[in-house]
Structure 1
């Protein structure tokens, strides 16, 4: 059953949520006067829900998620000879040759990340100005954490971005660029402050409170941020990553599900042991939508799964991702490759009677319809469909990631034995052979196996260095280190000349 967030969305979200921004020079302010609104927590929650919904777009199939996966060895979108999908700006990212005019990067900034920040600023202002503000501390903390999360993505993608916390922008005093290290400090301090005010997962009724942020959700986010601190600031923070991971682990509230795929089922909101933070989705009442199946699967999967639409055959992976898994590793089953079958085992055939056989991509700019393996990240089984929209909740962070974060941070500080135990704990769940020794390359590979298409791979490849040295797809050469952040979109610099372009772009 969907939680209170869905109910609030249905009743008040479209009419009551505070405004958002799409450009740094756009005025942003709440549409409601704090003098006559936020008299109750439910009224205040209606606006906070809007910020959750905005942040959820960083893990849906749009540009914010795509630019976290494009340019890696696990995600490709080839142009098709049958028409569709070719996009030179996508090819730029896959080649590691992004320019400031790249439309996907521009949309991620202007449609996803900074609108979330603008909306959070407006809601925080309205909450703080409410006559009931003294009773809204937890909701203010939630909004602060949501804004910090959006700034984490901004820092990760663009590095040097403005820190702006006001509800409206003065067109005569536009924001200026802060360094990546400054943004890092801001994100960490905001998340730590928010965590102080938020309840622990052990202090709430999970069925009623889900999927709102708890202390543990913020600790898990901080574990990720500290894990990448050396990339962001030049200074490693491994011990802090371990500390934050331990706060989640020691809560005793989480465990690995029986199978990885269980986390991504349409019923994944129902008392999952593994989900730490997620976004509630219910397209049947216009409360978000999940379109992974639409964008990923082959057209014939309409027949395989009895879908009410024809999938678009876009997102793909290939042999590099597949071959990381041992044959008996259950996670391998989530990649569709080779001859395809109905769920009852009968060959999946097209209208001419030919069985569908998925093969590696031969030509990234002109691929045949059967080229490219498919990742069944979110299962279509048991879905309540609204057109081509599924109701699987989006997963932001889960327990397996926290275990692997702790393992990596411990390995890097010399505790190889404990790190090995943690990695094997994750492997055991999926019937992968236990490792007897552990290298840093093993940890990178295990994260790639476990977290396939969950938006971590680009960040991981940068941290491990493979982003620069490995070749895959249409990336054929060495990547310069300055390309570990994207350029500030040209249209943003035109709108706000105070912004400073990232080096070498």
Structure 2
């Protein structure tokens, strides 16, 4: 059951603030601090609205999440010969040919800055409340939520405006900040928020879930520091290591018996999940649509769904061949001949033809057969409650496995404690019934992260950090790029419409 205070507040709240999605808009927060936010419950009713918008950044159908996977070797969305799914804008991104007029890019920008704008409006009202002294932790919560938005904007576009007011004045439009400046802002905001947020060790985890804790922010900071050289020009693996140790030292988290246990409908007390976004479509609070977007239509029969999945997202042999035989994580992937849950009865169409998922072969990317492309069953429909095509599996933002892998990478890059780094990676491998490694390289870590975190929004940043985003080729990317000369492709272009609306913005190099 998901009858937690934050969900109840979200179901009851109206989003009484406005937020800027275009930087030339003049928008005004509608909250009056003298008549509102008299107590924590009133304040929470608007804070959860920001959580909801952060959830949009992680939803299967949202370009806030898809752009963390587009352009990588593990996530494709080709057009189907039977009709549908081909999108030139998506194709541009997946082939590393994104343009500044790309419509999907406009959607991603609006999604992210809507969350940031909402956080700005709520934060202003919280800080102006006559009871602000009693809302210190909640103010920190909203600062962290805003930092999550800027973290994504920094990763995608790098050079964006740092804007913290609740409204944009048409006569004083914000100017572009450098990626290094945005990086420092994100670090400072997360650090300040962590100081005032409660630790997972001091709250009732049942009652407090899924709100941010110190450990949520430490995990996000570890990821920011892990990519510090990309974002700021200066590596900071020591700080990444410190943040990972902050999480590990609580002894509050542990690996589940299987990766799949992290993505079930009932994961509120999950020992591995550090940060999550709650949904409860039965109460009108969001919904998880990964099944709708990714799975083949015949999964309707396999799982007894009330709708036919749309057979969209997929991957191919590039990712599948990273897994060794017997790896339990293969149970989350759908490839080859398909069966019902008993593992024996063939999953067949009305003509009795068994579904056999094969790798991508159609070269134009515009008309693949319905059985081309493998599937990731990230969020299990088993035990989930559906409202239409919306499942009630909470979105997992970060989990303990990622902390262990980040610590292993930081140690390896620092040339420190190779024994501990190897042990951390082997914890992940042994959990999935893989043979323990006897030595560890950065390439091993890159591949282990790809196996463990497939479709969790980490791959694009990982590939850029390891250089494989440029030097490798796969189905959608057939050309080797130069990590130096083509480094500009590691940033997306600022949408033209945003520059038209706000001439103070500066386009990224290469576009």
Q: TM-score range by the shorter chain?
A: over 0.9
Query: Alpha-carbon deviation of 1:504?
Result: 1.3
Distance 1:198 1:301 in 2: 42
Counterpart in 1 of 2:296? 298
Counterpart in 1 of 2:91? 91
1:24-423 aligned at under 5 Å gives the runs: 24-61=23-60, 62-110=62-110, 112-269=111-268, 271-344=269-342, 345-363=344-362, 364-415=365-416, 416-423=418-425
1:201 counterpart SS class: coil
Write out the 4+ residue segments of structure 1 that deviate beyond 3 Å after TM superposition: none
2:302 counterpart SS class: helix
Contact 2:20 2:168 in 1 (8 A): no
The equivalent position to 1:449 in structure 2, one of 451, 454, 458, is 451
Contact 1:16 1:32 in 2 (8 A): no
2:391 counterpart SS class: coil
Query: CA offsets per residue over residues 313-346 of structure 1, 9 Å max, x none?
Result: 0000111111111111100111100100011220
Q: CA RMSD in A?
A: 0.8
Task: Give the unaligned 5+ runs of structure 1.
Answer: none
Distance 2:11 2:156 in 1: 33
Distance 1:89 1:95 in 2: 10
Distance 1:17 1:283 in 2: 21
Query: CA offsets per residue over residues 242-277 of structure 1, 9 Å max, x none?
Result: 0000000001100000100000001112x1000000
Query: Alpha-carbon deviation of 1:16?
Result: 4.5
Query: Alpha-carbon deviation of 1:440?
Result: 0.8
Counterpart in 1 of 2:499? 493
TM-score (norm 2): 0.97
Distance 2:346 2:83 in 1: 26
Distance 1:146 1:214 in 2: 11
Distance 1:335 1:24 in 2: 41
Distance 1:17 1:60 in 2: 23
Task: Give the unaligned 5+ runs of structure 2.
Answer: none
Contact 2:315 2:373 in 1 (8 A): yes
**Corresponding residue pairs, total:** 501
Contact 1:290 1:390 in 2 (8 A): yes
Query: Alpha-carbon deviation of 1:66?
Result: 0.8
Distance 1:386 1:239 in 2: 45
Contact 2:20 2:167 in 1 (8 A): no
Query: Alpha-carbon deviation of 1:191?
Result: 0.6
Contact 1:18 1:50 in 2 (8 A): no
Query: Alpha-carbon deviation of 1:123?
Result: 0.3
Contact 1:265 1:392 in 2 (8 A): yes
Counterpart in 2 of 1:434? 436
